[in-house]
């Protein structure tokens, strides 16, 4: 059969075959024939809800000791790990194409199969999107101010509604926010003044049209992306110590907060402008994923995530094990669910990434 004959297969038959496959196999099947790719988007996802893991080589400890180190031109390992198939896929092309080497690139946020990166080793400094699922790169214009503490984006960078935002406290009493969207020729800068300490931004998350930002003193502020307005809230976070690491995650339109040492989670009630403890029954309907970037996320406890309801999985250098599981009174135990990936922990940086087929617009 030549390619034309494969393309003549009825869509109903192609769709029926694809429905029996995991998404990673559907994706590879779609590469065989362009017309089949449409079927992938037509199939409703009812089973695969767990985020994937993107892993790539970046020896942060070597870089911290030798700031003058430069890229040697060799290939760097980049791979995608599918939790449903418990299989890793090496992206052989990722390190050799122009502007696609991830050596020294810092991840900031993941959404819709894309990751927002910045580089501080290469000159000039730049920010870019990379999708390991399609091997695409979207490079953004040079920032007005190079330094920033947190960065996020609202939707797929190919969407005209995508908004990229960076936040920084470059000096005491000053907050800088830079924004960029498709069609802009350059970044827009917004400055706000108040009781800000230098480099005090701890966690941020994107909910609806607003960015929620928690500072090291427990204060929280909201930046309305549409109206470009900043507002500080009077209510502080509920934890006794602000020196401990915290997790802020958007979940079904809510802002959830935890410091990973004093579970359970707290939810910010916008109507009352106060923090309320999340009921255990509510947490059982979702699964939280955290890493040492802003790539944390929440997924519904459905399909392949059903047995993990109420759990928090963390992959970062603050935890005692490569993949830690937090659940009720079990704090920071090694995760059996991701044990198949632990052998890579010491070699590469790992972050959670939302596959392009996931859509959590429904309530859970």
What is the distance between the alpha carbons of residues 147 and 64, in angstroms, rounded to a whole number?
17
What is the distance between the alpha carbons of residues 1 and 364, in angstroms, rounded to a whole number?
45
Sign of the CA dihedral 309, 239, 363, 130? negative
Cα dihedral: 177, 180, 186, 191 (round 10): -10
pTM of the predicted model, to two decimals?
Answer: 0.83
Span 268-293, mean pLDDT? Answer: 84
What is the distance between the alpha carbons of residues 210 and 96, in angstroms, rounded to a whole number?
37
Residue 122: predicted pLDDT: 53
Residue 70: predicted pLDDT: 46
| R_g of the chain, CA atoms, integer Å | 21
Q: Exposure of 179 by Cβ count < 10 A (0-12 exposed, 13-18 middle, 19+ buried)?
A: middle
Least confident among 147-151, 273-277, 304-308, 343-347:
343-347
DSSP state of 24: H
What is the distance between the alpha carbons of residues 135 and 309, in angstroms, rounded to a whole number?
32
Q: Is the pLDDT of residue 205 over 60?
A: yes
Tokens linked to 352: 């959670």
Residue 62: predicted pLDDT: 41
Span 254-273, mean pLDDT? Answer: 77
Residue 123: predicted pLDDT: 54
**What are the angstrom distances between the C-alpha of 133 and each of 137, 144, 233, 270?**
11, 30, 39, 36
Residue 329: predicted pLDDT: 61
Phi, psi of 28 (to 5 degrees): -65, -35
Residue 174: predicted pLDDT: 92
Question: Where do the domains of the chain lie?
Answer: 1-43
> What band does 60 get if pLDDT is binned at 50, 70 and 90?
very low
């Amino acid at each position: 059969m030549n390619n034309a004959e494969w393309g003549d297969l009825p869509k109903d038959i192609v769709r029926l075959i694809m429905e029996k496959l995991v998404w990673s196999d559907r994706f590879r099947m779609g590469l065989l024939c362009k017309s089949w790719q449409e079927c992938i988007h037509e199939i409703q996802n009812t089973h695969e809800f767990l985020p994937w893991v993107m892993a790539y080589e970046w020896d942060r400890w070597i870089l911290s000791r030798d700031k003058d180190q430069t890229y040697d031109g060799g290939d760097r390992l980049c791979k995608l790990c599918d939790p449903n198939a418990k299989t890793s896929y090496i992206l052989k092309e990722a390190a050799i194409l122009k502007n696609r080497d991830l050596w020294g690139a810092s991840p900031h946020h993941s959404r819709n199969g894309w990751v927002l990166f910045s580089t501080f080793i290469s000159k000039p400094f730049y920010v870019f999107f990379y999708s390991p699922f399609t091997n695409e790169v979207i490079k953004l214009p040079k920032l007005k101010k190079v330094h920033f503490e947190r960065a996020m984006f609202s939707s797929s960078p190919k969407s005209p509604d995508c908004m990229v935002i960076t936040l920084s406290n470059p000096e005491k009493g000053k907050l800088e926010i830079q924004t960029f969207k498709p069609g802009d020729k350059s970044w827009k800068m917004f400055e706000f003044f108040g009781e800000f300490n230098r480099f005090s931004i701890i966690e941020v998350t994107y909910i609806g049209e607003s960015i929620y930002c928690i500072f090291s003193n427990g204060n929280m502020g909201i930046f309305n992306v549409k109206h470009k307005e900043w507002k500080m809230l009077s209510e502080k976070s509920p934890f006794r110590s602000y020196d401990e690491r915290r997790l802020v995650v958007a979940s079904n339109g809510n802002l959830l907060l935890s410091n990973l040492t004093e579970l359970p989670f707290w939810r910010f009630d916008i109507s009352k402008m106060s923090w309320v403890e999340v009921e255990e029954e509510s947490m059982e309907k979702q699964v939280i994923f955290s890493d040492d970037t802003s790539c944390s996320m929440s997924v519904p406890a459905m399909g392949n995530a059903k047995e993990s309801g109420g759990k928090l999985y963390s992959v970062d250098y603050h935890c005692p094990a490569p993949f830690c599981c937090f659940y009720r009174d079990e704090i920071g135990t090694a995760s059996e669910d991701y044990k198949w990936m632990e052998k890579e922990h010491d070699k590469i940086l790992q972050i959670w990434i939302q596959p392009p087929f996931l859509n959590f617009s429904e309530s859970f």
